[in-house]
Structures are given as C-alpha cells and as structure tokens.
Amino acid sequence: MKKYYYDLHIHSCLSPCGDDDSTPNSIAGMGELNGLSIMALTDHNTIKNCPYFFEAAKNHGIIPIAGMELTTAEEIHIICLFENLEQALAFGEEIENRRIKIKNRTDIFGNQLICDSADNIVGNDEFLLSNATTLMFEEVPQLVDEYGGVCYPAHIDRDSNSVTAVLGGLPPEHPFKFAELHNKDKASSFSDIGCDFVVSSDAHYLWDISEKDNYFLLPDDDENAVQNLFKLLRKTL
C-alpha cells in the first residue's frame, strides 16, 4: 500500500471567485511543489478547464481528477468527481442545461477564464457560474451516479453553502459515504453523521492548495490509482 497525498477541491481561474493566476498549469505545478499525488479540479458548476488541467498534470507528475463543485437549488455545495474526463464532460453538458444563466458582472464577481495547459486564455464563460442550479440536493447523488461519478457534501464545517448550514445537517437516510471537511480538526464535531471524511482545501488561490498532509492509503499502483481511489470513495476497495 502507498500514501497518495491529495487535494480534491481546487478552483481555477474559471470560477468567478478564483484568482486569475490559478490556471490549470499553475495549479498542477503548485501540486508538484507541494508534494501532492492526486488533485481534482472542481470549478463552480463547470468542467471546462478540466481537459487543460489533465494536460498540465501530465507535465507535473500529478494524477488528475475531473470534478465540479455543484451548487444545488438550495445553494448547497456538493463535490462531484468522475473516474474519467469523458464522463465528467458529459456531466458538465448536463449541468449546462440546469444552470440559471445570469450575465456575469466581472467588476463584482471576477473573471471566468478558460485557460489552456500553457496558460493562454482561450475563452471565458459569460454567465455567472457560482449561482444556484435547478437541481435539488436530493437529486444530485443519483444524477452523478448515472454519469459514473461519486459525490459528497462540501465543507460541512462551514457556515455558508454547506448542507449543515442550509438544512441543519444531513438527512437521516442520506446516501453519502463521505463528506468533506475544510478543517480536519473539526471532525469530532461531526462524528454522528455516518460518513467518513475527505479533507480538502477549497483553494481559490495557488497558496491555498494543500501541502503534503492528507492522504489516501491505496495499492501501490499509479497506473490504476484513479480506479482504486473511486473504489475507496464507494467503499468497495
């Protein structure tokens, strides 16, 4: 078995709250400097920078995961992760049809830049990405599963956009195997929710990306690390 150090909640320059310097290439480079093995790009309600992140990750020795921080109709954030880029892109197209498209005000919310693996700006999303979609919280797990992914509630230890803040906690018969903590020292406060924990940075700036701290213990097999990670997240490993 091997320790795979990870950060599974990172925003790029495509998220309106993300720093313009957080390009896919710079994120992968920071992960390499920090000693990470596995990184997930999880912009708000979009997958569009993930293909470029995959290209950049290869150059920096990072195992990439395509993901999204989905905002439900109740404005609850859920991390959605996919075993391969094709599944993620298909899910992204599905969410495009579930977005409430309001023009982005860059002077208020910031830019939403699509950047290639060489840091070139190749596009932008003109509609605000951080607002709610039409998907209800209870609908998300089944939809993500239909696209071959896994999902779990984001930053449950925070006072905004978390299931704990909005609903007061997870429903008694929730389907989640994991929930995300921003601060692992708060794990004891959530010991009764019936989940294991993923600890990730929710980085919006390069310097927020996790260092070599949190890890998954997986078979020593880099080629199949993604498949093994998803088995772990599904509790089938």
For tokens 């954030």, what's the residue? 77
Nearest to 70 by CA among 164, 181, 148, 163: 163
Tokens of 66: 């395509």
Tokens of 160: 């905004």
Tokens of 162: 């978390």
What's the chain's length in residues? 237
Q: What's the predicted TM-score (pTM) here?
A: 0.97
Specify the CATH number for the domain of residue 64.
3.20.20.140
pLDDT tens per residue, range 48-104: 999 999 999 999 999 999 999 999 999 999 999 999 999 999 999 999 999 999 999
Per DSSP, helices labelled H in 38-148 are: 50-60, 85-96, 106-109, 140-146
Q: How many domains does the chain have?
A: 1
pLDDT at 163: 97
Q: Which structural domain range is residue 115 located in?
A: 2-233
Low pLDDT (below 50) residues in the chain: none
Residue 79 burial (C-beta neighbours within 10 Å; 0-12, 13-18, 19+): buried
pLDDT at 192: 87
One-letter amino acid of 41: L
pLDDT at 150: 98
Output DSSP code: residue 223.
Answer: G
